[in-house]
Structure 1
């Protein structure tokens, strides 16, 4: 048995007088391995529609619901109550003074911990969700100083996290009282219109729930306002509990949407989560000697899920829950996406020693193949996958190749090979959304009016911002790589390769004849588009030399790398468009339309840095490669604490944006961190 590895805490120091905006703009996230989560600002008040103390991912009704929106935690002092929670209101006022009393915030593993000094009483708050259960626990401990009377007021929903915000005085739910297995009281909160029942209990049970309905009217979600969305909601509180917080007796609130509350012992919940994470680190070989790698490995855990909203409908080819796994693309609003999953698989699972889960993910998505395509995404609350993607399917070949390289699991290749042959056949004869091989040159084309098919997929209403119809550069790189992999697997399995090697030769010749822009000194981004060839300098060309089988001729490698490094490289990733190109956007901010106009028009994406590092090592060797990752340790203390954001602004100070925790950002930075740390016999 591998001994557990100690968890290195991530600490954000704090002192009275520091700007509370630093707490309001940073967010914590706890997940449960089912797509559900708890999250909020470090300041203790919600700033997004997605923030909630408990946001389970339900199978019925499907989707993620903000079941508990917040707690107000009031601790009595001689000068009156101190509120460690609270909210901001549309008129500019706010409840809550957490910043005056906070002394430290830290992540113990993935557990957020706040330490407050309230007139000499040192109070610790921490939050955990048990893995694989729709439940949450908030624990309060008096670490030092005199006992304090504490009142906890509960604010409830439930609404689906992406539903319209409502300012309504009508009570959203009904209350019932029940008895727990330990004899204490359980509050049952039922929303009849959705048949959601939330069970809540407080321990020690020295105070019964006191019903006292109140409404906080016109609560402001500041981030939603800044992003151009609905930003005001009435928050309803049915009442709360009052108890004495003493050193010898911790207090905790438990909530679940399961039929029964688990054993109401907070210590057991927290110890189980710590033990689980220590075991994961041990399995992946991560220890305190490399705290950044350990921290990224912990962050990776939050994305690997058994999807709670679909656990009752595993796809064909996945025998039961043990073989049903997926990847949440990003928190708070993304579900599982095929493209993001396949790009992230190596970093999230193979680099962390989670080989069984990698296999389960590959088998799960194979069961969702339709007409030779992998799903693009599973919409929130929906049953049917959407398939409008040209690259997700091709990334599947890459993910499988990386898995086989690590595990030598030839049996899985044999199991999946017929499905992969079907994928190639569909692409040869043409499939949905205009995806198919051009018989004139063997290159892969794609395009359908109104659809965004590549990873540059921003769309506002009917406006596809970067349509990239025609033959995008990275699609050819992925197609060529897939053909070479198929030919290699055919030889491995002792079967005919169906002409994959010959077709790959043709693709490579056509690519190198067509994609080089001699006038620009780099590759075209798209050829044969509706308006001709697009020579915009974008990062997509890096894949022509970063994949296992590079489609680009060797004598162009240095030119492409130099062009990308010169115009697109930043400390936090690659720009999606070079400065000076038509349409370049320096900032990712404003309304949805403004943000989507910048999403792939200059905005920086960290995940691209993984393939830049691969290409750089291939061309120039390993020396100095780690320097391209030096900004990320500091980023772990920004935006989503302990994780990496989806995007960053194109110009300094490269402000974080999008999701506060993004799967492929974490996966590719972790993978690149390990690649630049490890010594290998050859640079590939």
Structure 2
């Protein structure tokens, strides 16, 4: 099966091609993102988008796009594409596209009369540099290429408007130029691997529109600065490489740099390889520290998301070293938080009450992939310190009560992964005893006890098991209702009857406070009311407030965010729960449920999985175009099913 290959009929149909986006990253925070027809539809799109820590904690678009023009017999054929007011697209370069293929690197094939030109894009690992290789496959007469860079030099979440603060000057670089439009930004070097002429012709290209931002109710018009154009001849069979980066480079090294980067690529010719490639795009290296980004194009490093995504994005693709590197960075940050109460400069939301519990869950997956002894040797003391920190009530919003359960205050501030808010207040005020917090807590106690279960630590293990026993009794009394499923949260005399997916963790974790019969009944409710081809709904259609479609203004989207939309990452917990109840006989059913995700490889962000999906057919992908927890958990599901098939 060809996952990421699209023919002429789709490419020239903007209704079909514009919704498909592609993403490349350098694993250090920078990225290139656009549609498969190279028409930017979001303000976050760009050829070179990089973090600039000296300015802020956001990404910045330096080079928005590069318009190519093929010239033959003095006639120009512009291959660019931009949207302007009134659904006007210009200069309609997509009509020359004959094929787009992204199985190795993004490759576009153009045909202009007798000219066949290919374009391939590569982002250099751990360097703020993108290379674009143009190859003239066929031509019957002399051919010239012209390139117009569209510059932004702005925050990726803002827009650029024509202004007189811009610095229009440029400096000559070897086979190119460099420029810097505003103070505080690095210089952008645009160079070629052969001699090129540059014509200074400064111009503002006004009124470019981004349809995705318009759909989301945000500002969507911008002006981009074009300093002039590059021009050079190209012969049949010749390849030309363009480089855009924040440092000057020797043009003669571009070909070897391009080939070296190509050799490091995972060919995306299967479902697994697509997800593996996507998982590695979330890796973030800052100095000696390694992190996992929550998603693209706007998410940063978020503590809970990192721990949920980490096992799948590393262990499930055979990268134990990366798991350890990312976990070691997180361990330092968590230890500092537990000692001082201070947040981390890079890892956001480290103070949320369930972060520590998800950290232990991630380490539990590590123990299963390596061994309990290996996990104990590396992280045993760390796990013990987390348990003691919680037991002694040191967390500012996680309280261990006499009944053995954990209590958190979520009335004024979001505290769980269901974090939609309006004016800073939770739309879903989950507060008190949260079902997944306490399922994770019970699991953490039993897991920590198993680590301490040797002669030297028998007393510690006994204490933890005794607390877990108390927790299990209270858990059933607190959450298990007469309908056979679990309350979502309980606070005082109020019990939330909404059918939500958070109960899944009491069914899926290695240690559950419920017996098999209780888990089976609750799982039937989840399957009947929450399961979709694109994940698990955040709320049952039978529950009050069901709102499955994530569209409209920001307020409308926030209201729908956790009120019925489907989340792919919850398939990890669903798979664990299903296999614990049905064993090997459940494998074929779960494999069929993955078909919906395999279809997504050629939708939305090709080769990856969107943040969320509508809860009703046709289950359209929405939100961030590539989400780490979704990719990681589907990879973990694939790995788990593979093991079952080899039993």
Map 1:94-133; keep pairs closer than 5 Å.
94-109=89-104, 111-133=105-127
CA contact (8 A) 2:118 2:136 kept: yes
Q: 1:333 aligns with which of 295, 298, 302?
A: 298
Instruction: Supply the distance in 2 between the matched residues of 1:41 and 1:193 (Cα, whole angstroms).
Output: 30
Partner of residue 423, structure 1: 386
Match of 1:678 in 2: 643
Cα displacement string for residues 174-230 of structure 1 (whole angstroms, at most 9, x for unaligned residues): 433244xxxx3342212442142222212321x222211111112111100100111
Give the gaps of 5 or more residues in structure 2: none
Alignment counterpart, residue 268 of structure 1, candidates 229, 239, 256: 256
Specify which of 323, 326, 342 is matched with residue 361 of structure 1: 326
Distance 1:329 1:22 in 2: 28
- Any idea what the Cα deviations from partners look like across 1:344-383, whole Å, max 9, x if unmatched? 11111101111111001111001111454999997xxx66
Q: Distance in 2 between matches of 1:372 and 1:187?
A: 50
Quote the residue 2:237 is aligned against: 248
**Greater mean deviation of Cα atoms: 583-592 or 443-452:** 443-452
Alignment equivalent of 2:536, drawn from 571, 574, 580: 574
Moved over 6 A (4+): 373-378
Alignment of 1:652-671 (within 5 A): 652-671=617-636
1:590-669 → structure 2 map (5 Å cutoff): 590-623=552-585, 624=588, 625-669=590-634
* 1:463 and 2:425 are equivalent in the alignment: yes
- 1:175 and 1:188 in contact (8 A); partners too: no
CA contact (8 A) 1:374 1:387 kept: no
| Secondary structure of 1:497's aligned partner | helix
**1:25 aligns to 2:13 (yes or no):** no
Residue 296 of structure 1, CA deviation: 1.5
Q: CA deviation at 1:94?
A: 2.5
SS of 1:122's partner is: strand
Offset of residue 626 of structure 1: 0.7
Match of 1:64 among 50, 59, 65: 59
1:144 aligns with one of 135, 138, 146 = 138
The number of aligned residues is 639
1:559–1:54 Cα change, 3 Å: same
CA–CA separation in structure 1 for the residues paired with 2:241 and 2:591:
44
Q: Partner of 1:615: helix, strand, or coil?
A: helix
**Structure 1 385/670 Cα, relative in aligned 2: closer, same or farther at 3 Å?**
closer
Instruction: Pick from 174, 177, 186 the counterpart of residue 187 of structure 1.
Output: 177
Cα gap change, 1:475/1:139 in structure 2, threshold over 3 Å: closer, same or farther? same
1:534/1:604 CA distance change after superposition, 3 Å: same
CA contact (8 A) 2:167 2:180 kept: yes
- TM-score normalised to structure 2 length: 0.93
Q: Does residue 236 of structure 1 match 2:228?
A: no
Q: 1: distance between equivalents of 2:389 and 2:52?
A: 35
Q: Cα deviations across residues 102-126 of structure 1 (Å, max 9, x unaligned)?
A: 11111133x2111111113111111
In structure 1, the residue matched to 2:367 is 404
Pairs within 5 Å for 1:240-639? 240-258=229-247, 260-261=248-249, 264-278=252-266, 291-307=270-286, 311=287, 321=288, 324-369=289-334, 370-372=336-338, 385-408=348-371, 410=373, 413-439=376-402, 441-491=403-453, 494-495=456-457, 496-497=459-460, 499-518=463-482, 520-528=483-491, 532-623=494-585, 624=588, 625-639=590-604
Q: Distance in 2 between matches of 1:681 and 1:249?
A: 49
How far the C-alpha of 1:234 sits from its partner, in A, is: 1.0
8 Å CA contact 2:61–2:155 kept in 1: the answer is yes
Shift of 1:648: 0.4
SS of structure 2 residue aligned to 1:613: helix
CA distance in 1: counterparts of 2:171 and 2:5, whole angstroms? 40
- Determine which of 190, 207, 220 is the counterpart of 2:209: 220
Q: State the partner residue of 2:30.
A: 36
| Contact 2:121–2:130, Cα closer than 8 Å, also in 1 | yes
Aligned-partner SS, 1:335: coil
Q: How much does 1:554 deviate?
A: 2.0
Q: For residues 596 and 17 of structure 1, do their structure 2 counterparts lie closer, same or farther at Cα, with a shift above 3 Å needed?
A: closer
Contact 2:10 2:16 in 1 (8 A): no
Range that drifts further, 673-682 or 132-141: 673-682
